[in-house]
Structure 1
Amino acid sequence: MLDHVGIPVSDFARAKAFYAQSLAPLGIGLVMEVTPEQTGNGSTAGFGSEGKPYFWFGDDGRPSLHTHVAFVADSRAKVDAFHAAALAAGGRDNGAPGLRPHYHENYYGAFVLDPDGHNIEAVCHLPG
């Protein structure tokens, strides 16, 4: 099952205004923003509903055609296994398995770049 998706944008403020207005009729709004200091990259915004961001976009300052897809894992061990399997299959590490408390206290994820450079993640939201 998909947990969330992310797309690159060329103008963060413009995208935030666009999605805030266009997704409001669907009951989808801004749930979370992550700063460049927290990501080590650019600003990101997570839109969703009921407190759960599931549509993300961001501007890391570089033009990009790459997307981000995160798959739900029901344990941290499966996140670890995903990361190892993806590296063995030829993926490149883009973030070792570990906690990402800037998202929430139990956010445990791992990131790899697929052969085309797309950022693929497995994430577990359950406590350790």
Structure 2
Amino acid sequence: MLDHMGFPAVDFETSKAFYDKALAPLGISVVMSVSAEETGGEAHAGYGSDGKPDFWVSTGRPAGEKMHFHVAFVAKDRASVDAFYAAAIAAGGRDNGGPGLRPHYHPNYYGAFVLDPDGNNIEAVCHKPE
């Protein structure tokens, strides 16, 4: 059901240093980093084990600003990602990145992003080729 989740940090480097140390005893470490240049917006540190990032910490939350979460749901295929996006927009969601490939994550990463009524970033993602 869930593919991954994350949230923005007020101080990205401080939060990253905290999670680096706090999660190490659990065998969890940064397995993927994505720069602001690659995303066109925020930088992200993806934590996980066995090479798959499941928990993300990101830049972009000024002190005092309401925190918004990111949750990604697994989609069985790319058509399901497209259908999720259409249904979410029809239900009142706001576009935060239409369906498409996101090769800066990996070559087959096909996702769509919408903001829910509270501004949370909700995603559907398929990792399968075509």
Q: How far apart in 1 are the matches of 2:120 and 2:95?
A: 12
Q: How far apart in 2 are the matches of 1:43 and 1:83?
A: 24
User: Residue 42 of structure 1 contacts residue 61 of structure 1 at CA under 8 Å; is this kept in 2?
Assistant: no
User: Residue 76 of structure 1 contacts residue 124 of structure 1 at CA under 8 Å; is this kept in 2?
Assistant: yes
Structure 1 letter corresponding to 2:33: E
Relative to total residues, which structure has the larger strand share, 1 or 2? 1
Alignment partner, residue 54 of structure 1:
54
User: Residue 8 of structure 1 contacts residue 64 of structure 1 at CA under 8 Å; is this kept in 2?
Assistant: no
Alignment partner, residue 12 of structure 1:
12
Shift in Å, 1:60: 2.1
* Aligned counterparts, 1:36-115, within 5 A: 36-60=36-60, 62=62, 63-115=65-117
**5+ long unaligned stretches in structure 1:** none
Please say if 1:21 is aligned against 2:24: no
Q: Give me the CA root mean square deviation.
A: 1.0
| TM-score normalised to structure 1 length | 0.97
Alignment partner, residue 32 of structure 2:
32
**5+ long unaligned stretches in structure 2:** none
Structure 2 letter corresponding to 1:96: G
Q: How many residue pairs align between the two structures?
A: 128
Segments ≥4 residues shifted beyond 3 Å: 61-64
User: Residue 8 of structure 2 contacts residue 61 of structure 2 at CA under 8 Å; is this kept in 1?
Assistant: no
